[in-house]
Amino acid sequence: MRALYRSPADYPASSPCEARDKRPRQQIPHIQSLVDSVLEPFRRVSIACAFLTYAACAIGASLAQDDARESLVATERAFARYAFEHGIRPAFIEFFAEDGINFQPGPVNTREAYRARPPSDPKRLILEWHPVLAGVASAGDLGFTSGPSTLTDRSTERPETHHGLFFSVWRRDEAGV
């Protein structure tokens, strides 16, 4: 039976140089240690530079995200303050985007839904909330806030209070707000 391939050992050496090249190579210890001693500082410096570059990029991105998150939380708080001072209806009309939705229980356009409601006494229903958790996408164009909310109906002699949680998704508009 004929073999499909032959190993390199099956071929005769065509020259004395090729035969000599098949011997195992020996490293010269003092030259190898010299090369290692010269290259080791460069390896350490290159690793340190790579680490510092990564850290600088991460810190820069983190600071930008922190600024965006602080801006988002400030906007959520301004929204809550506006609702407390002016009432729920005007606050939701003012702060929601034209295409913003909320659930009543199904999704509806928030501005259209609140514009359709008649104006009422802003001190009758008090909605209070504050963000406890906030996050921003790395691009800084989307974010969310979440936290506790309290709705107090002051129309009766004994005010009725309902507790809940809110979750808001925010999108930065063309003006950067």
Question: Which domain CATH number covers 111?
Answer: 3.10.450.50
Q: pTM higher than 0.75, yes or no?
A: no
Report the alpha-carbon angle 137-72-55, nearest 5. Answer: 45
Is residue 135 included in any domain, yes or no?
yes
Is residue 113 included in any domain, yes or no?
yes
Is residue 28 included in any domain, yes or no?
no
- The residue segments making up the domain with residue 111 are 68-177
Question: What angle do helix axes 29-86 and 88-95 make, rounded to 10 degrees?
Answer: 140
Dump pLDDT digits (tens) for 60-83. 546 667 888 999 999 999 999 999
pLDDT score of 118 more than 80: yes
Is residue 48 included in any domain, yes or no?
no
- Place 3 in a pLDDT band, splitting at 50, 70 and 90: low
Residue 48: CB partners within 8 Å, gap ≥ 6? none
Number of domains in the chain: 1
